[in-house]
Structure 1
Amino acid sequence: MNISIFIFCIFLLQFVCFWVSRKSFEALATKEDYFLAGRALRFFPLAMTFIATQVGGGLVLGASEEAYQFGWTVLLYPLGASLGLFLLGSSIGMRLASFPVTTVAQIFETAYGSKRLKEIASFLSVLSLFMIFVAQLIASKKLMVMLGVESNLLFILFWAIVISYTAMGGFKAVVATDMVQASFFIVIFIIAFLASFFGKAAPLLNEGLLPEANLTGASKLLGWIFMPLLFMLIEQDMAQRCFAAASPKVIRKASLFAALSTFLISLIPIYFGTLAREIGVAPKENGSILVEMIQLTTNPWITALAGAAILAAIISTADSLINAITSNLSQDFEIFAKKFENLKFSKITTALLASLGLFISFYFDNIVDLLIQSYELSVYCLFIPILMALFKPRGNKLSAALAILFGALAFVFCKIIAIPFLPKEIACLFSSSIGFLIGEYLSSLKKEAIKIG
């Protein structure tokens, strides 16, 4: 691979992102501008920021690694993300946008009348988003090292550019740069696929070495499809885009377009992963099977561009996470509310949180288990009460509280004891549902008692 081309590409792309986002630096007048882009996003920018947020390190590097182990069954992973986008476009996203809120956690105050539950939900959201952000940083560092860029100074300088335009321009800057980075990685991924498919990989494909599916456990399959699907419906960075849309019609069109695009884009890393599996290419220690296969079946220039494209996909997910985390902190906790009215404070907080994540990334090598647990915990605790609020705008606080409690208890229980006849995803969501129904039942008894009294 041509390291000089890779370094030139990644820094040029970020300077372009800084340039296109500069207009947003001084166009911010209110907190709503900073976190929701004035609620004026149209179809194309909304669709591209949906794609950029979903096609990150997990869907690119993670999907290729899983495809190397299990073949085409890993399609369930991007399918889950695509179905989540489809549901956002068909009904969920429009219902979210209809609430007079700016974060998902605020639904607990609007629908259930509880500020405490709002803060609990926001804390869980912040925890999940921050850990995902740190995971993106670690993935980018490993990628750069694997491609021959081992300088910590270059790594810090690179992310300093990303953090600066994200902090200074807020959500408007995120959307502007998402359009640039998503366009770049889509084009480069397609070029890499075509160069491989019709180039050095062609003889292998002509020999009939087509990847076959390798079925795995039911729990893993359910995790692939349901975790990204359910988490998407409750995560702040996706809801933030729905809140920022100009109209429900725009949400529907943009999310449906993004659903199809995300699924099609994910076929490319899965293709490289399954091809490596079939021809017996063993990944190097701490290496990426995706990068190794692109290098094996294309040329040094395309490999360098593909490396930059993968990094762009990681960044386009990371910058939205930074802004979403600050959005939660600024609007869900009364202790911070007045301070965040000052846009300068919002910008400084965004920069500090991102810098904290950058610092943490140097001291952790593998946080996958912690990442998955925080990811799952949010889903198990929050999905049921949020889903019910979308269809029953005036719920009761007890039902939501018990749903969160039962979801958390089931999460802990399933970590200690494996349930042989039931996947943990189903068990935990079922437990949360039981908690919600118990709350509904107790509330109905209380109403009856009041009537009789």
Structure 2
Amino acid sequence: MFDSENIKLLIVFLTLLICLGISLFYAKKNKNQEDHHLAGKRLGISTLVLTLLATQVGGGAIVGTTELAFEYGWNGFSYSFGIATGLLVLCLGVGHKIRALNVKTIPEIFSIKYKSSVLHKLSAAASVVTLFFILIAIGVSTKKFCTFLGLNNPWMLFALAFLFLAYTSFGGFSAIVKTEILQITYILILTVVVIFNIETPFKEALSLAEQTKILIPPFSFSNLLSDKGFLLPIFFTIIGQDMGQRCAAAQNPLKFSVASLIAGILILVVSFVPVALGIIARIKGLYFDNNTCLILHVLEKETSLELTNLFAVGILFAILSTADSLICAISLNVHMDLMPHEKRSKIIFAKIFSFLFGLSAIVIANYFDQIIPVIIFAYELFVVLFFVPIFMAVCLKNPSKLSAYSTIFLTFTLWLNHTLSKTQPLGLFAILFLGALIFLAVELGVKNLPRSEIKP
């Protein structure tokens, strides 16, 4: 009565219905902004670990990483390694300091530390655009294997999209966290099952990769500092609103630091599977086109059709768990940073924003084919403009507004020259390093000026 096709669709619909039920339950419990956007600031270590993992293990870390590994071998680890490094930086004190500021959003740091409403609004708008482009990339990865799941019927796709947008919009951050825990648990279980059922053992894949270095480029640490696929995930993990929201929702700074470390380690462990599968596909000559989901293509050859179908459902859950956190972060930025103050107490606006942004991303995703390039494009300008001022605001006691403006102007100018120049004289790391130097130089100059010479 139930074949594998029907079973996987049944799992998807039942899970989304459960997520909707959880969302409606928390919609009744949320009494104020803090409940809706930050889960009442009650997240403990285990919950934080799972929601951090669910946020990062999405289309980029699974579908996109497999494709990178197919092209670049073990260097396909760069994206996941960048995320893990960013989480390590948060663990080593930056996350602790952000949580101690007691801000609701990352852009709010500009109001608290720099006393600048202009930079607050500008960074919030940039954050919304950045997160929206990443959301589009998540939609692209969904499109890549919807056909494999048998989701060709427009009404079926509409029903799935409606269930997703409904549970994402109604229950707020509390519901998102609970549904992410459900989804990431399924993914982790399937990952373990794949490891023990793969036809070509990973040990054999390692051996084959070593013997075919011409075919599979070896991993190179020396290339990382010039690799945007490694650097941008580091910087955006530190200052991105999706991570900032989880930081603000933690019970205390220490618990967020511990959770960041554990989540970073688990991301590397989970990412090993798609990287190894990409290498196996390259060694065995399993080629694919833009309409094929490579990781599912490999699994179908290396395991059973049943396990491949179940893993496809797991990828869908991974994508949804990242997408809902992005929508939630966008809603928080718009509601708390960009809306007039008198309307911020009305949670209904946050729910409407969540639904509309999610729907727009689903529509626009149909016009893109690549995943990682879209994510990198989304990261880049936000990181160039705001990483140094935000990082310095977290690390320094009373940074000046002039230092922030000077750095933003310099890094944007260098980035624009870097982007338009055919010779590309400066890389991302060098641009941010120079930005940090100019920030400190201006800061030192401001501190040494007589008080009467400093304009308010």
For the criterion TM > 0.5, the same-fold answer is yes
Equivalent residues of 2:105, 2:332 under 8 A apart: yes
Contact 2:144 2:293 in 1 (8 A): no
Q: Is the 8 A contact 2:88 2:261 kept in 1?
A: yes
Q: Specify the alignment match of 2:331 in structure 1.
A: 326
1:110 maps onto 2:85 in alignment: no
Pair 1:112–1:304, CA change in 2 (3 A): same
**1:48 CA displacement:** 0.5
Distance of aligned partners of 1:111 and 1:186 in 2 relative to their CA distance in 1, 3 Å threshold: same
Equivalent residue number for residue 427 of structure 1 = 430
Q: Secondary structure at the match of 1:282?
A: coil
Residue 55 (structure 1) aligns with: 57
Shift in CA distance, 346/159, structure 1 to aligned 2, threshold 3 Å: same
1:385 corresponds in structure 2 to 389
- For residue 138 of structure 1, report the CA deviation from its aligned partner: 2.0
Q: Residue 278 of structure 1: which of 265, 283, 307 is its match?
A: 283
Deviation at 1:205, TM superposition (A): 2.6
Does residue 315 (structure 1) correspond to residue 317 (structure 2)? The answer is: no
Distance 1:76 1:368 in 2: 11
* 1:215-226 matches, cutoff 5 A: 215=218, 218=223, 222-226=227-231
Question: Among residues 368, 380, 391, which one is paired with 1:376 in the alignment?
Answer: 380
Whole-Å separation in 1 of the counterparts to 2:206 and 2:328: 49
Deviates more, 1:81-90 or 1:212-221: 212-221
Shift of 1:410: 2.0
Q: For structure 1, which runs of at least 5 residues remain unmatched after alignment? A: none
Structure 1 stretch displaced more, 40-49 or 13-22: 13-22
CA distance in 2, matches of 1:206, 1:109: 52
Cα separation, 2, equivalents of 1:54 and 1:345: 27
How far did 1:87 drift?
1.9
Amino acid at match of 1:173: A
- Given the alignment of the two structures, is residue 90 of structure 1 paired with residue 92 of structure 2, yes or no? yes
Deviation at 1:360, TM superposition (A): 2.0
For residue 50 of structure 1, report the CA deviation from its aligned partner.
0.4
Return the offset for 1:373: 2.3
Q: Distance in 2 between matches of 1:152 and 1:367?
A: 23
Q: Is the 8 A contact 1:380 1:411 kept in 2?
A: yes
Distance in 2, Cα, partners of 1:74 & 1:447: 52
Q: Percent identity?
A: 29
**C-alpha distance in structure 1 between counterparts of 2:379 and 2:315, whole Å:** 22
User: Normalized against structure 2, the TM-score is what?
Assistant: 0.91
1:287 paired to 2:292: yes
Asked whether the 8 Å contact 1:219–1:425 carries over to 2, the reply is: no
Q: 1:73 to 1:315 in 2, by over 3 A?
A: same
C-alpha distance after superposition, 1:112-163 (max 9, x if no partner): 1100011111111111101101111121122212444223332232121111
SS of 2:312 mapped into structure 1 = helix
> AA paired with 2:239?
I
Aligned residues: 446
Letter in 2 for 1:394: N
Q: Is 1:81–1:229's contact at 8 Å kept on the other side of the alignment?
A: yes
- For residue 230 of structure 1, what is the amino acid of its counterpart? F
Q: Deviations over 1:46-101 (max 9, x none)?
A: 11000000101001111111111111122232121112112222211110001131
Q: 2:346 aligns with which of 334, 342, 352?
A: 342
Q: In the TM superposition, what are the counterparts of 1:50-449 in structure 2 within 5 Å? A: 50-196=52-198, 200-202=199-201, 205=204, 208-210=207-209, 212=213, 214-215=217-218, 218=223, 222-333=227-338, 335-366=339-370, 369-419=373-423, 422=426, 424-440=427-443, 442-444=445-447, 446-447=449-450
- For residues 257 and 204 of structure 1, do their structure 2 counterparts lie closer, same or farther at Cα, with a shift above 3 Å needed? closer
Tell me which moved more, 245-254 or 96-105: 245-254
Are the counterparts in 2 of residues 136 and 314 from structure 1 also a CA contact under 8 Å? yes
Distance 2:202 2:82 in 1: 33
Q: Given residue 269 of structure 1, which amino acid in structure 2 is its aligned partner?
A: P
TM-score between both structures, scaled by the size of structure 1: 0.92
| Partner Cα distance (1:64, 1:257) in 2 | 23
Q: Quick one: distance in 2 between partners of 1:414 and 1:42?
A: 43
Distance (Å, rounded) in 1 between the aligned partners of 2:346 and 2:177: 22
Look up the equivalent residue of 2:130 and give its one-letter code: S
1:120 aligned partner, one-letter code:
L
Write the distance in 2 (CA, Å) between the matches of 1:146 and 1:408. 42
Q: After TM superposition, give the deviation of residue 309 of structure 1 in Å.
A: 0.4
Cα displacement (A) at 1:193: 2.3
CA drift at 1:288: 2.0
Render the CA deviation track for 1:277-297: whole Å, top value 9, x for unaligned.
Answer: 112211244212211111001
Query: Which residue in 2 is equivalent to 1:450?
Result: 453
Aligned pair in 2 of structure 1 residues 5, 399: CA closer, same or farther (>3 Å)? same
SS across alignment from 2:106: coil
SS in 1 for 2:113: helix
SS at match of 1:26: helix
In the TM superposition, what whole-angstrom CA distance separates every residue of 1:324-368 from its partner, at most 9, and x where no partner exists?
0111111112x4332231112221222122122222223444476
Q: State the alpha-carbon separation in 2 of the partners of residues 367 and 188 from structure 1.
A: 23
The 1:2/1:220 distance shift into structure 2, 3 A limit, reads farther
Tell me, in whole angstroms, the C-alpha distance in 2 between the residues paired with 1:321 and 1:85.
17
- Kindly provide the CA deviation profile for residues 196-255 of structure 1, in whole angstroms up to 9, marking residues without a partner as x: 1xxx32499389524555157937863232211111000001011011011122112211
